[in-house]
A and B are shown apart, each in its own frame.
Chain A
Amino acid sequence: MLTTLTIALSGCSGDKAGENSSKITIGILQDIEDSLDPHKAVAAGTKEVFFNMFEGLVKPDENGNIIPAVASDYHPSDDGKVYTFTLRKGIKFHDGSPVTVEDIKYSIDKCADTSNGEPLIAAFSNIESVNILDEETVEIVLKEADTEFAVFLANVTAAIIPASNESPDTNPIGTGPYKYVSRSPQENFIMEQYDEYWGEGAHIKNVILKVRSSADSYVMDLEGGSVDMIARITATQAAELSDEFNVLEGTMNLVQALYLNNAAEPFQDVRVRQALCYAVDPQEIMDFVSDGKGTEIGSSMFPTFEKYYVEELKDTYSKDVEKAKALLAEAGYPDGFSFTITVPSNYQQHVDTAQVLVEEFKAIGVNAEIQLIEWDSWLSDVYAGRNYESTVIGVDASSLTARALLERFDSSASNNFINFGNAEYDAALQAAMDSVDDEEKTQYYKECQRILAQEAANVYIQDLPEFVAINKKFAGYTFYPLYVQDFSKLYIVEDK
């Protein structure tokens, strides 16, 4: 009886541990077209994969907490200026060598290096020194107090890598639950379970990331059996899948908005920006773009960042065509105006959003024209060059703090691609960063969001829904509040 029950239960729960010959093939659209050095990798698609291979002194968990990783323990000083880390006992790199305090110092110093103008992580410009106290203790001394500093150490870019590795660009060595096996450009990226991982570790031995040529073939790839799982499929694709698959719904953790170049005519005038906000109904967009799913947002924050999110800001501008027209008339545009929405053509949801926006703006006499451009041109012309009028894009957070989303709107921020300039905002942001009291800090961040909403810095729309299709042979997919995928939590439900 007991034996039967054990067998039956193991059949249901799958082999979460001990499965050695298992593999999962996951379809990805964006190849790992990056350096394999986590300090140099920049693409979000690369970082979400590297999350499985590399770890920092600390790392994020699925609930948005910062948990110890390479360090087994850490303590910030009361004044928030010194962080002391204890190296985890017995932790090893994928090549079998032990992690040392020298490796920690090397990695953090490399990320804080300013020889190229700026450090790899902006918050690291605050590092005064990294000191080895003994064989298992390292302290990071900051120039100014920063009670949020640990969240930046949880970034994949701050991964601890061996100082002895001479070619990190092509030979990645980390401490994560998966280790690198091989990659073939535009074909695949293969990882293998790391047996000596310090924690619970991965359940599936091999993870093969197959590069797909087009999102249009996702359904055929899944149904045909060439891949077992694909994240970020569309609602329409999800509906086409057979019952061999589970479709999980989460959120993308993006601030999708019509970003306005606040320095371009006529968006310098706050009344014009507000008029555009009054012309838009985010629900209409969500109905068209994501089958009604998604969450309306009213400022540069998404709901997963619960602590900072100000829900009522989504009601700042309820659709009101008359009010919008009145504001336009007041601003000197009684007959409306024309402008261009520049959209990267590879993101269908942003293209679809722009199409609905064009229709909505017609009602207030504003004529918007969509200009589709390649992602690379978007990066150089829109983002870096700031040579555009408006664009639809989703902005995500690289770290688990409001600062990751709000810092860019400081008038002097180098990545302030909308040219937003507001002295009140700058002061509130600075106060948030300077504050050592968490509650006070959070209040200042909320104040920043209010200013962005009232000033109509952008036309805020939604946090997009995320659909993950996974073959029922597998389970354990976990959503994170950041743009990462944790393959180590996946396990096999049954052998088909």
Chain B
Amino acid sequence: MKYIGKKLIMMAATLIAVSFFVFLSFFIMSGDPVTSMLGTEATPEKVEALREELGLNAPFFTQYFRWATSFLKGDMGISYSYHIPVTAMVADKIPVTLALSGLAFLMMLLLAVPLGIYTAKHEGGLADRVIYILNQVMMAIPPFFAGILITFLFGRVFRWFTPGGYVSYKDDFGQFIGYMFFPALAIALPKMAMAVKLLRSSVIGEVKKDYVRTAFSRGNRSNQVFYSHILKNAVIPVITFLGMALADMVAGSIIIEQVFSIPGLGRILLTSISNRDYPVVEAIIICIAFIVVVINLLVDIVYRLIDPRISAEE
């Protein structure tokens, strides 16, 4: 319990630091939400009046504390561009990003675990060598480029999906997941390759340990030793990686949403940055940061559950 309490305090501190630095960076960088809102019709009088109305003439710390206080009360403010509550915007888009990264994570697990085990069991075989090469290629391709290749190949050449097509989860969940499939694949592939490599080397490392030899000498069957001893130990370093991969996928979906025209948090974030729509940018970055720190916390907890030695060490 003390451990979780400590972690929660760290989480809160991280989120405060993130929000502060995002606020500060907007304060320093060039561009102004007011000129963005008024466009080419901006006149010094109109700019001044709108700045006053939005409270942007106040000193930096006043603006930050004003924003942070309302945020803590659950009020994320009103979008400068869309004039709608940021809370509603974020609540509408969060399921899209979570579904995309969740599906990518699931794909990675479903592909990486069997392939990792298979290649470890058949170390040096033809399949192992082919998978090794494919892994190297997949790790070298960044998700956005994988996205472009997938769109071209499966969307344009094979016509398995409509590039740029999208159906909201509110309209048809089945079709929504269908449209998420290829973008999720683009996110999953490089991470899957890494997971296969990690699991394979971890399993091979375990197989060579003394306790495995002892287990076999006691007459245990090969599969029994593998699943109840080797895999259990081999999976520990992989869990850490999976946690990091999931956090990375949430953040990485920002780029993929752009490539596949998926209206999730990422796309709103990018346009809001260019519009200097501070309330939206702050809210989304905090949401993403929150998801990432929660994933890290969960990984820590799972890690301790699998390997009690970690709790004993602390």
Contact = CB atoms under 8 A, between A and B. Distances in A.
Interface stretch (B41-49, B117-125, B197-205, B238-246): B41-49
Given A213-B258, A377-B30, A380-B32, A117 B49 contact: yes
Interface string A14-57: 00000000000001000101111000001110000000000000
B271 to A, nearest CB: 6
Contact of A379 (B42, B83, B84, B92): B42
Contacts of B87: none
A214 B31 CA distance: 22
Nearest to B37: A42
A212 interface: yes
A184 B35 CA distance: 24
Interface in A152-190: 169-170, 183-188
A225 B198 CA distance: 41
Contacts of A184: 92, 168, 263
A379 B45 contact: no
A116 B45 contact: yes
Contacts of A212: 164, 261
A186 B168 CA distance: 12
A226 interface: yes
A185 B90 CA distance: 10
Contact of B162 (A27, A170, A214, A226): A226
Interface string B47-65: 1111000000000000000
Contacts of A379: 31-32, 35-36, 39-40, 42
A380 B45 contact: no
A224 B155 contact: yes
B165 A33 contact: no
A236 interface: no
Nearest to A414: B43
Contacts of B37: 42
Nearest to A36: B83
A489 to B, nearest CB: 25
B27 to A, nearest CB: 14
B82 A33 contact: yes
Contact of A33 (B164, B261, B263, B275): B275
A27 B162 CA distance: 14
B248 to A, nearest CB: 21
Interface residues of A, number: 44
B78 to A, nearest CB: 9
Nearest to B267: A186
B163 interface: yes
Contact of A211 (B38, B152, B263): B263
B19 interface: no
A48 to B, nearest CB: 13
Contacts of A383: 35, 40, 42
B115 interface: no
A170 B155 CA distance: 36
B108 interface: no
Contacts of B47: 384
Contact of A220 (B31, B50, B163): B163
Contact of B274 (A116, A224, A374, A384): A374
Most chain B CB neighbours (cut-off 10 Å) among A186, A214, A220, A374: A186
A188 to B, nearest CB: 8
A417 to B, nearest CB: 9
Given A42-B37, A187-B263, A224-B163, A414 B44 contact: yes
B76 interface: no
A221 B83 contact: no
Contact of B81 (A33, A223, A380): A33
Contacts of A27: 164
Given A213-B261, A220-B156, A376-B276, A384 B35 contact: yes
Given A212-B164, A226-B165, A415-B43, A170 B258 contact: no
23 contacts: A35-B83, A42-B41, A116-B46, A118-B43, A170-B84, A184-B92, A184-B263, A185-B89, A186-B267, A187-B168, A187-B263, A212-B164, A213-B267, A214-B258, A224-B155, A224-B163, A224-B165, A225-B165, A376-B36, A377-B31, A379-B31, A383-B40, A415-B41
Given A116-B45, A226-B164, 13 more contacts: A33-B271, A36-B83, A42-B38, A117-B44, A185-B84, A186-B268, A217-B151, A217-B163, A217-B164, A224-B165, A379-B35, A384-B32, A415-B43
Interface of A: 27, 31, 33-36, 42-44, 116-118, 169-170, 183-188, 210-214, 217, 220-221, 223-227, 374-377, 379-381, 383-384, 414-415
